Structure formats: C-alpha cells, structure tokens
Amino acid sequence: KAPIVVDFRHLRCGRCKVALIDALAVVCPICGAEFDGILSNHIGLAEQLHERRNGAGVRHVSSDRLDTAADRSFSKP
C-alpha cells in the first residue's frame, strides 16, 4: 500500500515515485501498490483530489485517509 503524493505539478505513487497520469487510479501502473490515501504538503490540493476521487466513486483501500504535512507538524505528542 502507498499514498498518492500530490504537489503543485504532479501526482506520484508514494512507493516508487512515478508520476501518475490518472488521478482516479486505484493501483500504481508501475509497482502495483494499492493507493490507501492522499499525502500532500498543501491541504487544498489534497482535499481537491480527495473530493474528485470521492465524486467519481473511488474509495481508498483502507479508510479515507487524507494526510498533510501540516497535520503532522502541528500534532501533539
């Protein structure tokens, strides 16, 4: 399992880092990793992709995981 990594220019597989063409993909076409969430350092981009995937009926393998760098940096121990 791996997240989809989102930045201003690309969508990438969190495992093999290959650029994704299909934002609605469920598995990576190169390494076969199942996408289990969305990871981004920009909350707006992550939410936008999350909403787009939900609108198309694409669900993540585990739960609907949305992870941002902001979530990790401001979390309390």
What pLDDT is recorded for position 21? 94
What pLDDT is recorded for position 60? 60
Torsional class of 17: left (φ above 0), alpha (ψ -120 to 50), beta (otherwise): left
pLDDT digits (tens, 9 = 90+) for 7-21: 998 999 999 999 999
Q: Helix, strand or coil for residue 5?
A: strand
* Separation of alpha carbons 57 and 25, rounded Å: 11
What pLDDT is recorded for position 76? 41
- Provide the whole-model pTM: 0.72
What pLDDT is recorded for position 57? 83
pLDDT digits (tens, 9 = 90+) for 20-75: 999 999 999 999 999 999 999 888 899 999 999 988 888 765 444 555 554 544 44
